[in-house]
Structure 1
């Protein structure tokens, strides 16, 4: 071989911008072997070593491991195949980093203790199967006995959180708070009662134009009255609640025009029902659920329920 055409390791370093130490490392690893050696044992490289080193440096800067780089430069693996595999691996790493960032941001925003940070981290690391088991355990407890009800599927869907694979900090916190509620025995009991009532409070053939579900009927009817500052003890309030009372009567299968005593009993029964519904944790759950599922957060129903109960507890009737 013509020695004048070969490059010393120092010359190769000047041409590539790499250090002699780095080139020696790549050479010893078999990525850029010398084309020849001098009698004194010094390495000599051909001109192709420049392009080879450029490729090795590029692949290493992109994060490919030495074994993969060797396969690419030796043409054992197509560059496109190696690039696709590495891009896929980077996607996984990016998701992990984004998840970690969300947890740390959430912990910083909450001023979390080490215990809370550990909880946030564990919850976000749950697999899809593990998350589903956590949700199924909660829903199985609160919806026990309702599976045969026609509204079961709709009720279950309305209560089901679906945490995203890459939650943002707000979703991380919401998911953690939901997980805490899942373990609250008293809340489970409360939701079990509310779920049963929710499944039963759909009026058939409602002619008032209100939503069929009682809670939404209250929200639709009472919301404007609250905004207008209507006194719940007024005749106007009684008129506001009259369609809701009629709705509830149809839920119970009551006929219209049952008389003053029957109407009063219906109003008081509805007031009891709305009081049961007015667990502040209900609004908290629905708010957290909306955040986790990436949906608009519903307005707090508690003010409308409070107003409705006060209106129903009066003796005024329209």
Structure 2
């Protein structure tokens, strides 16, 4: 209780008791966060004993950098009795969780900007202008939407949405939260690649995209995903391309898409057909650069797995068979 005859205190006394300024108390009162109990005969604000705890709660919430509207909702929940042992209700939990997400995004942007600055600072003088141009075209934190748009244009238009989404999840790399300068450069180059992927009149669609219907495309990419997973394990084990379960799964995916049987003749035809498909090696090499910190073993990518499988297909056909390139 306050020592005054009416059990109330002035705005100055309340500020002193709570260890803050009169200006802050007035601000909270004017914004409806700290109701006054009464006014003196001279029109001055008077506050009850409960104002001390309420003011301390407000200051704690503001110290967490919660905006005034969020603080108001927390206090309203407190007034309704939702938080029986202090501000522990759902409104506070949601506000803190939302603020944590926002802060995480800000920190990610700062880490990305720091790595980009280090990249430019550490670049050889002759490469500095080009690298500055590349990283300057990428937002902070980086946006992967242009990469997704690139793949949506490249994938067959008849491809079912679930199959397309599953492919995009593997093909569009998530930028690292704490990148090294080399990873920033790889992503910036990837961003530039996706902005202008097809040049010189070169076709951008594999033959399978033009000849297969929606159901065949779904089967093709479902089978390729399984084959890439099997090949990825081989790559991680540093095994040379060779026939086996991964290659059988790879060939079966194309056989299903073309309505053919898996025969030696089909495998020879497939190797030749895939040799004429457009290559996206540059994309996958950059994806590996984005995902792999300097000094670590490169992470398998769908493109790297595809090349391993094509090499296995060529090795199976012997010296006369072509080692077909891939997408």
Match of 1:160 among 157, 168, 193: 168
How far residue 99 of structure 1 moved from its aligned partner, in angstroms, is 1.2
1:208-223 maps to which residues of 2 (within 5 A)?
213=224, 216=227, 220=231, 223=234
Partners of 2:190 and 2:287 within 8 A in 1:
no
1:62 Cα offset (Å): 0.8
| CA–CA separation in structure 2 for the residues paired with 1:72 and 1:240 | 58
Matched, 1:105 2:96: no
User: After superposition, where does 1:75-224 map in structure 2 within 5 Å?
Assistant: 78=80, 80=82, 84-85=90-91, 87-110=93-116, 111=119, 113=132, 116=135, 119-121=138-140, 123-124=142-143, 131=145, 137-144=149-156, 146-147=157-158, 156-161=164-169, 169=177, 179-186=191-198, 192-193=205-206, 196=209, 213=224, 216=227, 220=231, 223=234
Q: Deviations over 1:246-265 (max 9, x none)?
A: 867885747958xxxxx5x9
User: How many angstroms apart in 2 are the aligned matches of 1:51 and 1:36?
Assistant: 18
Q: CA-to-partner distance for each residue in 1:70-126, whole Å, 9 max, x for gaps?
A: 8998999636499655654444333222112112213323436487367232754x9
Is residue 267 from structure 1 mapped to residue 297 from structure 2 by the alignment? no
Q: Tell me the residue number matched to 2:55.
A: 56
RMSD over equivalenced CA pairs, Å: 6.2
More helix by share: 1
Question: Which SS does the other structure have where 2:19 is aligned?
Answer: coil
Instruction: Report the CA distance between 1:270 and its aligned residue.
Output: 1.1
Q: Give the whole-Å Cα distance in 2 for the aligned partners of 1:76 and 1:213.
A: 55
Question: Aligned partners of 2:247 and 2:73: how far apart in 1?
Answer: 79
Normalised TM-score (structure 1)? 0.52
Q: Does 1:25 align with 2:11?
A: no
Gaps of 5+ in 1: 203-210, 231-236, 258-262
Count residues with an aligned counterpart: 273
Q: Closer, same or farther in 2 for the Cα pair 1:33/1:287, shift >3 Å?
A: same
Q: Is the 8 A contact 1:59 1:69 kept in 2?
A: yes
Distance 2:191 2:81 in 1: 45
Query: Which structure 2 segments of 5+ residues have no match?
Result: 121-131, 217-221, 293-298, 322-327
Please identify, of 88-97 and 68-77, the stretch whose mean Cα deviation from structure 2 is larger: 68-77
User: Given the superposition, is the C-alpha separation of residues 179 and 190 from structure 1 closer, same or farther in structure 2, using an over 3 Å criterion?
Assistant: farther
From the superposition, tell whether residues 9 and 281 of structure 1 become closer, same or farther in structure 2 (CA, over 3 Å): same
Q: Which has the larger radius of gyration?
A: 1
Given that 1:178 and 1:285 are in contact with CA atoms closer than 8 Å, whether structure 2 keeps it comes out as yes
